[in-house]
Structure 1
């Protein structure tokens, strides 16, 4: 609990930082460590902002009065009022923390409302929790809630749970997203974009998916990023293949075009085509995105034209004969089972055919 504390002038000696004492809130007594913020001790008659680290939890609200008694012998040494019933454990620049708590202690109701909203950052906060933290009268709280939303100080990102986030926190998240995308493009210049799930993994773990999606939507609306299905990229990003990459792309396409329905596995292509392995895999991803190559199974790719040609011949065969066996399909492809079986399964998965027993029929005719 963060609180304002007055140390009685009648005390015979200073109160040392991190002293044990008895905190009385309401009818409850709790043994607590008194952390004096920004000082090592309090002289009799002095006041300070403190954090009580209690040995057991209790229920209290902002504004509640309390009395502090010495641990032993038991006597009243001071008292004050609660400022923040749900604080983080303070560390770092205690001077800034003291100035921050002064806002809660001496500021207006609106100051307190915004203080708590800022404090939770990108974690966001529900209307119910914010009401508890501020302990403001309902009419004043509702007025401040509406004002924050209407003037853009807060963003409502979950209507069902009535959760909001401070606008400056969303600006921080936008910068994190832009930084992550720019770094990704720098490391992967041949990739169209970054997977949305991968981008989400670069964000703080407490950033809720609804808020993440809403911030992405805002960045898209602003023209900063572009979302394409499950991919996200900077609007400024373009695929400009260098001379070496263009040559690698031409060689890979030539190999697959010439191989037809008996293509090499890509690990074999990597061995045949000169250049760095990473660049070749990046070019492969680009060719898959452009639809030049099609993945049929792990490490097995076909040129789109070869697959399209086979698809038309397969449909024609099925329209004439109504069904096809694996042996007939193998004959149709003039390829070994190493290729014909994955191709049969590919046409099943793309809903061209459906398996009935050990044969295939046209899905539309099934």
Structure 2
């Protein structure tokens, strides 16, 4: 990882005071990066932005402070009462704020007893002191003098990075328990095999930790900037390491597109999506044997979970390349799928189409059609959806159904009129329609470009005009 001077600026605050003639001043030892007058910094964990007016290093005015130097910053944009010892100033959006840490911890040899389960602690990290609870993650706990992974849950947020050193003290009676190193500043509780995998990966070097964090992000993947905030390094450095892992096929890279930054996804997440897609489509077409497709929106909702839908087009592209599915406009289907009617359903299909074509602009409801044809409603519903998918019938947005030929006839009748502009009342009277049918039909004609709405009226769109 980069040396401290090449990392984002980070100043743990150990004092804050008001100096006559200067205003608000904070002091601390610059942990990383550099600071110059005019820089904008983020006050952590509050998240507020402040500006540096002037700098002193070891009491002398400077135009720049470097990592490791004792530094005083004159600030604007923050009141003294909003500052406290233990806060940090850092490059905006470069650091993590957390209440849950995974750490490697050494219990002092003279500790009074082994630690098992949660115990109350006071965390000392740089100048911050926060109460919380700690528990060892090894099944046998932690004996005096032993080192092992622990989980720390805090009552208030702190800014922490992987690699930060800390001390834990017992609040009452006060006693130092030991010290350690942060392994994950955004620790999420895990169980079983995932917990063991997390502990194995995160206790190793960064090349092992990065793939686990990407795996933990799930189907949405992760951006370099997200992991950079756990490490306190520039996002470009993390992106370089993630790209190297992608070249060895340990990760899959999602290129930058339409303003979305590059992301990396764990191959296991892609495999889960692939298996789920096969299962979802199989169940859908088994349940609805006559369906030609499933809507793209519904497929995405059922195949991709949570924020994985942010990469919907990417996943659909991968699934198409694997011949798991085919995207047709706003529909998704199986490669080579063609719904086949039984002989009985074919006869019913012909009868339904004949019934609706004869009815023209006064078609029956599906219930009335089922009664007229003596068909079972469930079977009739499947046949109607099959006819709609084939374009032989049309389902209006209101849910009303009619034959496609009836709409074609309506379009021709409109063109045969001398109308350039007409009202809803004119339309109802001309074609003998109720408002229940007139409004959905006009909306359909508008959407297909046969008419154009002008205020409360419509204009007839004629070919060539």
The 1:42–1:247 alpha-carbon spacing in structure 2 relative to 1, beyond 3 Å, is same
1:188 maps onto 2:288 in alignment: yes
For 1:212-231, what aligned pairs fall within 5 Å after superposition? 212-231=312-331
Aligned partner of 2:202 among 104, 112, 136: 104
The 1:146–1:16 alpha-carbon spacing in structure 2 relative to 1, beyond 3 Å, is closer
User: SS in structure 2 opposite 1:79?
Assistant: strand
Aligned partner of 2:108 among 8, 13, 21: 8
Shift of 1:135: 4.8
Query: What TM-score results when the alignment is normalised by the length of structure 2?
Result: 0.68
Match of 1:211 in 2: 311
Over aligned residues, Cα RMSD in angstroms?
A: 3.1
The 1:132–1:261 alpha-carbon spacing in structure 2 relative to 1, beyond 3 Å, is closer
* Contact 1:38 1:98 (8 Å CA) reproduced: no
1:270 maps onto 2:270 in alignment: no
* Contact 1:116 1:134 (8 Å CA) reproduced: no
1:39 maps onto 2:139 in alignment: yes
Once structures 1 and 2 are overlaid, which stretch shifts more, 42-51 or 265-274?
265-274
1:364 maps onto 2:364 in alignment: no
**Unmatched tracts of structure 1, length 5 or more:** none
Match of 1:116 in 2: 213
Match of 2:244 in 1: 147
In terms of fraction of residues, the more strand-rich structure is 2
User: SS in structure 2 opposite 1:125?
Assistant: coil
Aligned partner of 2:229 among 111, 132, 152: 132
For 1:316-355, what aligned pairs fall within 5 Å after superposition? 316-318=416-418, 335=432, 337=434, 341=438, 345=442, 346-354=444-452
Shift of 1:48: 1.8
Residues in 2 aligned to 1:28 and 1:15: alpha-carbon distance in whole angstroms: 24
| Cα deviation digits, residues 155-190 of structure 1 (max 9, x gap) | 225443333222321221222222211111111111
| Cα deviation digits, residues 50-69 of structure 1 (max 9, x gap) | 10111111111111111121
The 1:265–1:297 alpha-carbon spacing in structure 2 relative to 1, beyond 3 Å, is farther
For 1:232-243, what aligned pairs fall within 5 Å after superposition? 232-235=332-335, 237-243=337-343
Residues in 2 aligned to 1:195 and 1:221: alpha-carbon distance in whole angstroms: 19
**Unmatched tracts of structure 2, length 5 or more:** 1-100
The 1:70–1:279 alpha-carbon spacing in structure 2 relative to 1, beyond 3 Å, is same
Residues in 2 aligned to 1:37 and 1:350: alpha-carbon distance in whole angstroms: 63
For 1:22-61, what aligned pairs fall within 5 Å after superposition? 22-39=122-139, 41-61=141-161
User: SS in structure 1 opposite 2:402?
Assistant: strand
Residues in 1 aligned to 2:426 and 2:139: alpha-carbon distance in whole angstroms: 87
User: SS in structure 1 opposite 2:106?
Assistant: strand
Residues in 2 aligned to 1:72 and 1:117: alpha-carbon distance in whole angstroms: 39
| Cα deviation digits, residues 89-117 of structure 1 (max 9, x gap) | 23x32x75245323322x33321222222
Residues in 1 aligned to 2:414 and 2:235: alpha-carbon distance in whole angstroms: 71
Query: What TM-score results when the alignment is normalised by the length of structure 1?
Result: 0.85
Residues in 1 aligned to 2:457 and 2:240: alpha-carbon distance in whole angstroms: 70
Residues in 2 aligned to 1:359 and 1:128: alpha-carbon distance in whole angstroms: 53
Residues in 1 aligned to 2:423 and 2:315: alpha-carbon distance in whole angstroms: 52
Residues in 1 aligned to 2:368 and 2:128: alpha-carbon distance in whole angstroms: 75
In terms of fraction of residues, the more helix-rich structure is 1
| Cα deviation digits, residues 206-235 of structure 1 (max 9, x gap) | 234341221011111222201111111122
